[in-house]
Amino acid sequence: MPARGALALLVLGLAESGLAIFQWMQLLTLRGGGATVCGVSETVNCETVWNSPFASRIHELLGVPVAGLGLVWGLVAVGLSALYLAWARSGRPVAPAALGLKLTGVAGVASSVVFAIASANAGAVCPTCLGTYALVAAFAGVALFGLPREPAAGAWGPALKWTVGMTVAAFVAMLLPGRATPSASTPVGGSLLPAASVSSSAQKQIPPPPASLEEFLRGLSRDQQQFIADGLAQYRRGTPQPAFAPARKLYGPPDAPVKIVEWTDSKCPHCKSLVEELAVLKKRVPEGKMSLEARQFPLDGTCNPALPRRGPDAPSVRCVAAKAQICLEGAKDFWELRERLFAAQAILDTERVMEIASSGSMSRMQLDACMSSPETAAKLQEDSAYAMRHQISGTPLVLVNGRQAPPSAPLLLALVMADGNPSAPAFDMLPPPRPMPMGHDDHAGHNH
């Protein structure tokens, strides 16, 4: 009977490890601008939980996302269960392994309670997280009541040694992929702002424009220089394509030497970073050097014909935000309201979208009428078809003079300073681009 209990714990530990890996892969999809399988609705949505300030803070402090911590727990559960079975088979005392399994179960339940409270505070239910809680609760039940209650005298020391040792080993193993996983607030390719100044948009200290392209490039970190070199190599391989449709809303002159078109989704973390960085870019670029066109690609098949329908037909925050931005294109405060929408991403729901969008020059009544109009639906379809012309595979998608470019503000600033010439002499000081991985295509974005 005890061996059966340990075998059940082994299976539960393997199941939790597999679920944690799946969640981590879904997190990478989300960070890449794709939609996850568990983003069912506004209230049943793991994306909202994973983008919450609590989850982001955990990732920043520990270097591992919450899904990585679930994998750490699963690996420890598997290791201790296997140790118990091996000791039982060889006739060794199993009390240290049994105590370790019980400690692991209790720690898992306590952590689940904390994460469940954080999810509730985020205002959403994470379906895959519920699966984790169920597996952890079942594990704790079997560990506490399905294993023999052998005398614990002298077993606490070895139990702590094995449990802590396995936990530390598993955590260290997760650090490398954990640090390589972008957090919700990590700008692609680095930021145009010093880290200390990213507080509120009103208080950001915008650095003055660099005197020359070479000066700007020399002031970047080695990693940013390498990223720009790689991005330029990718950009040069692209073929410029004519605009699919005329611009509806443009920042800057239509004859600017650098024309940027970008597609975003209101709940995409990298889109939020891009919008914030573009707000900085507009202030650093000399007048007339750049034009910026904002288009929509909501990751919801309810309103985006390029994506399959999932979940209820009720309008999601993604669809509502996309239509609201289209309706605001004629407003004088379009760019300001758009930036406010993305700034509120962590707490954004349909009502918050409407509050922000109607807080400026357009009234709520005007906004409601516009968003329900066939013209707005047609414009959203136009944005989707335009993006599909460039084989969009995720958000944000960025075009520079008709060619796809990585959604990196430092790279965009460099191209603007070079008047759109990716072969400007100043780029010669960059390191050689790294070879592209086999099977890599040249399309910006990531898989849905």
Instruction: Quote the pLDDT of residue 186.
Output: 66
**CB distance 281 to 216 below 8 Å:** no
Work out the pLDDT band at 166, boundaries 50, 70, 90. Answer: very high
Task: Kindly state whether residues 157 and 222 are assigned to the same domain.
Answer: no
pLDDT tens-digit series, residues 322-331: 999 999 999 9
Locate 404 and state its tokens: 């796809």
User: Is position 218 within any domain?
Assistant: yes
Task: Kindly state whether residues 87 and 33 are assigned to the same domain.
Answer: yes
- The residue among 267 and 136 whose pLDDT is bigger is 136
Q: Name every residue whose Cβ is closer than 8 Å to that of residue 8 and which is 6 or more positions away in sequence.
A: 142, 146
pTM above 0.75, yes or no: no
Work out the pLDDT band at 438, boundaries 50, 70, 90. Answer: low
Q: What is the CATH number of the domain that holds 294?
A: 3.40.30.10
Instruction: Quote the pLDDT of residue 323.
Output: 98
pLDDT tens-digit series, residues 366-403: 999 999 999 999 999 999 999 999 999 888 999 999 99
Instruction: Quote the pLDDT of residue 188.
Output: 67
User: Is position 448 within any domain?
Assistant: no
Give dist(CA 371, CA 373) in Å, integer: 6
Give dist(CA 100, CA 81) in Å, integer: 9
The residue among 130, 149, 180 that closes a domain is 180
CA dihedral 361, 363, 369, 375 (to 10 degrees): 10
Task: Kindly state whether residues 251 and 213 are assigned to the same domain.
Answer: yes
Task: Kindly state whether residues 201 and 111 are assigned to the same domain.
Answer: no
Task: Kindly state whether residues 258 and 156 are assigned to the same domain.
Answer: no
Give me the domain span that covers residue 227: 195-429
Give dist(CA 297, CA 304) in Å, integer: 7
Alpha helix locations (H) across 51-94? 53-62, 66-90
Task: Kindly state whether residues 29 and 166 are assigned to the same domain.
Answer: yes
Task: Kindly state whether residues 226 and 257 are assigned to the same domain.
Answer: yes
Task: Kindly state whether residues 33 and 159 are assigned to the same domain.
Answer: yes
Give dist(CA 330, CA 436) in Å, integer: 42
**Which residue, 68, 76, 66, 160, is CA-closest to 114?**
66
Amino acid type, 267? K
Work out the pLDDT band at 88, boundaries 50, 70, 90. Answer: very high
**Which residue, 31, 51, 25, is CA-closest to 395?**
31
Residue 70 has pLDDT above 90, yes or no: yes
Please give the average per-residue pLDDT across 15-30, as a whole number: 92
User: Is position 311 within any domain?
Assistant: yes
Residue 57 has pLDDT above 90, yes or no: no
Instruction: Quote the pLDDT of residue 45.
Output: 80
Average the pLDDT over each of 52-56, 59-63, 205-209 and give the range with the smallest value.
205-209
Mean pLDDT of the chain: 88
User: Is position 400 within any domain?
Assistant: yes
Task: Kindly state whether residues 176 and 134 are assigned to the same domain.
Answer: yes
**CB distance 185 to 375 below 8 Å:** no
User: Is position 22 within any domain?
Assistant: yes
